[in-house]
Amino acid sequence: MTVTEQDITDYVDRVRAALADLPPAVRDELTEDLPEHLTEVAAEADGSLVDRLGEPEAYAAELRVAAGAAGPATGGRRDERIAAVVRRLRDRRDRLDVRLGPLLGYATAGEFLRLLRPAWWVLRGYLAAALIGTLGGGLTLFPRPFQSVLAGFLLLVVAIPLSVSFGRRSGELRRWPRVLNQVTAVVLVCFGLVLFQSLDQRRNDPIGYYPVENQYDQVRDVFVYDGEGRLVRNARLFDQNGAPIRLGYPDCAEPGRQDEAFRAGYPYCPEQAPFGPRSVPTPPGTPPTASPEPTATPTAQPTATPTATTEPTPQPTR
Amino acid sequence: MHTTVGSVDTTQLLKGVLDLAVLAVLRDSDGYGYDILRRLREAGLEEVGDASVYGTLRRLFAAGLLTTYVVPSESGPHRKYYALNAAGRDQLTRSGKTWRSFATTMDALLEDRGMAA
């Protein structure tokens, strides 16, 4: 026998080295009894292993093709089971695809979603820019890296077209770049959710959006006095647009009658008037909360009250 | 490419039928790798490559068509024997039919053109 144990080990090592790109489990499985096999080959006839079988690299290439190791089918039964599960999930997805399509007015849901792809590319570019924009700053709707609006603008101008052109070519990606692309998409979507969520919260938070000190914050009631210093009852306040101005709250009204007090107008609590007792009494026979008065108020009251109604009658009585 | 069009290359033909050939030589008796190789060559498949047969055996085993067992030997290395299981026999029957119908078609085709040897 001209072939030694060492020759066989060397040959096997070189074959294994040539198969180094395969998953270790597959490679081990392919070569596990190769030493015994080569011993057999060596025992049968004279000549070196290379003379008999060719170079180990060529042997490895032939082995790879014959064992189908280039494809995923060689991984063994466990891989086949996984492949079967994947196939079932795909079938289910395809059925769902066809069933949802008509609801959207398309043959399949996928057809509709494919139309949205360019929109996703734009959104992806924006999200990428916004993510970079958080550098040296906080979460902002407009990317502002290191507080620079200009940099954020440039970022958007670069990121969005880049994302779109990348999206148009994403069909050419090989397996790993494609997986990377999908992982990036998931990360960006998660970031987007966090971003919008945080902005939403900030909007609901009054601090920063309203002046902290509103000089009318403390107002509980409004007392209107006419030119003669008399308290006006059932007064209404309007702004320049005719929208009612609401200030204060009818604290003194009974719990169930606060709506009435609102409708009656200012002051809510005439007995708490800060100045003088010279109140203008309501016209006889109508209680302060009566309904006929409010209907006439918005336009009539400001001009009518001082001259026509209030002055002549009540003055003599008090 | 014009280079691939030419005379029928036995190694090209072998690629398509090596699975069937390996299953066939295991039909009557189990065998170990080198033994199977030898049987194939004795049957007339001279061009069959060592690595091709070895790789094919691994693949058929992985596909669940073969079972293996190890037989210790005093003189040489332990030998891993391959045997057909039920799935392997089924596969052999089905592939055998496919091959026969294919071969018949080819024979008829050659006969029609008056080229039969």
What mean pLDDT do residues B98-107 have? 92
The CATH number that applies at residue B20 is 1.10.10.10
- Domain contains A175: yes
Strands (E), A42-199: none
Write down the ipTM of this complex: 0.77
Domain interval for residue A290: 224-317
SS (H, E, C) A191-254: HHHHHHHHHHHHHHCCECCECCCCCCCCCCCCCEECCCCCEECCECCECCCCCECCCCCCCCCC
**In this structure, what are the phi and psi dihedrals at residue A224, rounded to the nearest 5 degrees?**
-100, 130
Q: Residue A239 in contact with residue A298, Cβ under 8 Å?
A: no
Tens of pLDDT along chain A (318 residues) come to: 467 888 888 999 999 888 888 888 888 888 888 888 888 788 777 778 888 888 888 888 888 888 876 544 444 566 677 877 888 888 888 888 888 888 888 888 888 888 888 999 999 999 999 888 888 777 788 888 888 888 888 989 999 999 999 888 877 777 788 888 889 999 999 999 988 888 777 666 555 555 556 677 778 888 888 888 888 888 888 888 888 888 888 878 777 777 777 888 888 888 888 887 655 555 555 455 444 444 444 444 444 444 444 444 444 444
- Domain contains A312: yes
User: How far B54 CA sits from the closest chain A CA (Å)?
Assistant: 7
What the block records as the tokens of B42 is: 């004795």
Clarify whether residues A292 and A264 are in a common domain: yes
- Domain contains A216: no
What pLDDT, on a 0 to 100 scale, did the predictor assign at position B88?
92
What pLDDT, on a 0 to 100 scale, did the predictor assign at position B65?
92
Specify the number of domains making up chain B. Answer: 1
User: How far B117 CA sits from the closest chain A CA (Å)?
Assistant: 32
Q: Residue A162 in contact with residue A126, Cβ under 8 Å?
A: no
* Strand order across the B31-32 sheet: B31-32, B79-84, B66-71
Domain interval for residue B22: 10-112
- Domain contains B2: no
User: How far A103 CA sits from the closest chain B CA (Å)?
Assistant: 43
Which residues in chain A are closer than 8 Å to B58, comparing Cβ atoms?
Answer: 29-30, 67, 74
The candidate with the shortest Cα–Cα distance to A270, out of A290, A285, A250, is A250
Q: Tell me how far apart the alpha carbons of residues A268 and A271 are, in angstroms, rounded to a whole number.
A: 9
Kindly report the CA angle at A54 between A48 and A60, in degrees rounded to 5?
120
Q: Tell me how far apart the alpha carbons of residues A196 and A186 are, in angstroms, rounded to a whole number.
A: 16
**Record: contact B52-A66, CB cut-off 8 A:** yes
User: How far A88 CA sits from the closest chain B CA (Å)?
Assistant: 20
Q: Mutate which of A12, A31, A36 to test chain B, going by most B C-beta atoms within 10 A? A: A36
Q: Determine the residue type at A100.
A: L
Complete DSSP assignment for B73-116: -SSS--EEEEEE-HHHHHHHHHHHHHHHHHHHHHHHHHHHTT--
**Nearest Cβ partner for A67 among B38, B49, B59:** B59
Instruction: Give B21's pLDDT tier (boundaries 50, 70, 90).
Output: very high
- Domain contains A168: yes
Return the residue of A nearest to B70 by Cα.
A33
What pLDDT, on a 0 to 100 scale, did the predictor assign at position A312?
47
What pLDDT, on a 0 to 100 scale, did the predictor assign at position A168?
84
Q: Residue B58 in contact with residue A29, Cβ under 8 Å?
A: yes
Q: Assign A140 to helix, strand or coil.
A: coil
Clarify whether residues A185 and A262 are in a common domain: no
- Domain contains A189: yes
**Record: contact B50-A52, CB cut-off 8 A:** yes
Which residues in chain B are closer than 8 Å to A8, comparing Cβ atoms?
Answer: none
- For residue A288, cis peptide bond before it (omega within 30 degrees of 0): no
**In this structure, what are the phi and psi dihedrals at residue B86, rounded to the nearest 5 degrees?**
-60, -45
Q: Tell me how far apart the alpha carbons of residues B7 and A245 are, in angstroms, rounded to a whole number.
A: 100
Clarify whether residues A270 and A310 are in a common domain: yes
Which residues in chain B are closer than 8 Å to A33, comparing Cβ atoms?
Answer: 33, 80
Specify the number of domains making up chain A. Answer: 3
What pLDDT, on a 0 to 100 scale, did the predictor assign at position A71?
42
- Count of helix runs (H) and strand runs (E) in chain A: 13, 2
**Nearest Cβ partner for B54 among A37, A52, A73:** A37
Clarify whether residues A192 and A124 are in a common domain: yes
- Domain contains B5: no
Clarify whether residues A193 and A135 are in a common domain: yes
- Domain contains A98: no
Which positions in chain A have a beta carbon within 8 angstroms of at least one beta carbon in chain B? 29-30, 33-37, 39-41, 43-44, 52-53, 59-60, 62-69, 73-77
**Nearest Cβ partner for A62 among B38, B52, B59:** B52
